[in-house]
Structure 1
Amino acid sequence: MANPSASDDYFRFFGLKQQFNIDLPALDQAYLAVQKEVHPDRHARGSDAEQRLAMQMATLANTAFQTLKNPIQRGLYICQLHGVDAKLETNTAMPTAFLMKQMEWRENLDEQAADLPSLEALMIEVEEAKEETLAEIAQAIDGAKKYQRAVELLRGLLFIDKFAVELDDTIAAFI
């Protein structure tokens, strides 16, 4: 059941524990329960105020669900709740080793664009890097409560995700 007074915390809104590693089926279940409760059609015969509130709650539920469902958005949101802003627009500093890995991946993508087995091997490497980064983020948030470190890792994960999409598009061109 939705807790309208918890609209300042998406986790509380859905009755979930605030953590990076969340139970996604429980999130899905909570979202569906809230949507069933606040869906505007259910309040079509209500007063204007009731209809407005239902629409606001449905919109909040959608926003909260999309934020918590996506690991990057969920991580950034948790950090924000703890006063750490990622400053994604202005802070693009990354460790040298990470930047070198990104350059290596890009070179491999350019050089092997016509070699499907090489591209698939590169995708496995990128997916492994993503999984390792997600595990580090979970440790930084859920374990160590080091939100500044989590933000740094999340910025890196944004780069990894963007590259993975480009790589996936290149692989899809073969199919």
Structure 2
Amino acid sequence: MINFNQSHFALFDLPVAFAIDTKLLDTRYREAVAQFHPDRFATASDTERRQSLQATTHINEAYQTLKSGLARARYLLKLADIDTQEETNTAMPMDFLMAQMEWRESIAEAKASQNLSALENLASEMRAEMQALEDKLAMQIDGQKDYIHAALSVRKLRFMEKLDQEIGDAIEAILY
């Protein structure tokens, strides 16, 4: 069976790092899920079927955590006993707050005018900004072990993911 006490990284035999090989993660995930697939336990006892379901649930949760840059960063900081303070610390650098206000204004204008092209450009810009922040997180967590600044980057990335979702919702509203 599965060791529920091991880290998500150990579960998939990956190094404990922000920068991971996501294709390898996908492969190891498929292998792990196949090992505990319900069809393999169809004739097993109730206890074994329940354990299989618990293992599959644990594997899925671990995969979702490692697949997302934001969730992976949170998890790594948690392993290092660092609280990201996402709910309690909303203090952000002024330049980030100004950029966020500009993004929100641009989103509002594009939504109001139903400008699909502007929204798609904003989505592309937001993804580039998020990728740059994930690259910074890799350096902060893996390279510098600067967990305090990494926690700030996690809070920034959370804001950016919300904006990205808002842009995606606006695009869907126009298309459908």
The alpha carbon displacement at 1:106 in A equals: 1.0
Answer yes or no: is the 8 Å Cα contact 2:4–2:58 preserved in 1: no
Cross-structure match for 1:149: 149
Q: Structure 2 matches for 1:115-154, cutoff 5 A?
A: 115-154=115-154
Decide which moves more: 88-97 or 76-85: 88-97
Residue 128 of structure 1 deviates from its aligned partner by: 2.2
Aligned to 2:161: 161
Paired AA for residue 172 in structure 2: A
Partner of 1:80: 78
Q: Secondary structure at the match of 1:172?
A: helix
Confirm or deny: 8 A CA contact 1:123 1:167 kept in the other structure: yes
State the AA in 2 paired with 1:139: M
Moved more, 111-120 or 26-35: 111-120
Instruction: Give me the whole-angstrom Cα distance separating, in 2, the residues matched to 1:34 and 1:9.
Output: 14
| Stretch moving more, 95-104 or 82-91 | 82-91
Question: Structure 2 length normalisation: TM-score?
Answer: 0.88
Q: Find the aligned partners of 1:120 and 1:36 in 2 and give their Cα distance.
A: 38
Describe the SS at the equivalent of 1:4.
Answer: coil
| Structure 1 gap ranges (5+) | none
Unaligned runs of 5+ in 2: none
Cα deviation, residue 119, structure 1: 3.1
- What RMSD over aligned residues (CA atoms) do the two structures have, in Å? 1.9
Query: How many residues are matched?
Result: 173
How far does residue 31 in structure 1 lie from its aligned partner after superposition? 0.9
How far the C-alpha of 1:6 sits from its partner, in A, is 6.1
State the percentage of identical aligned residues.
39
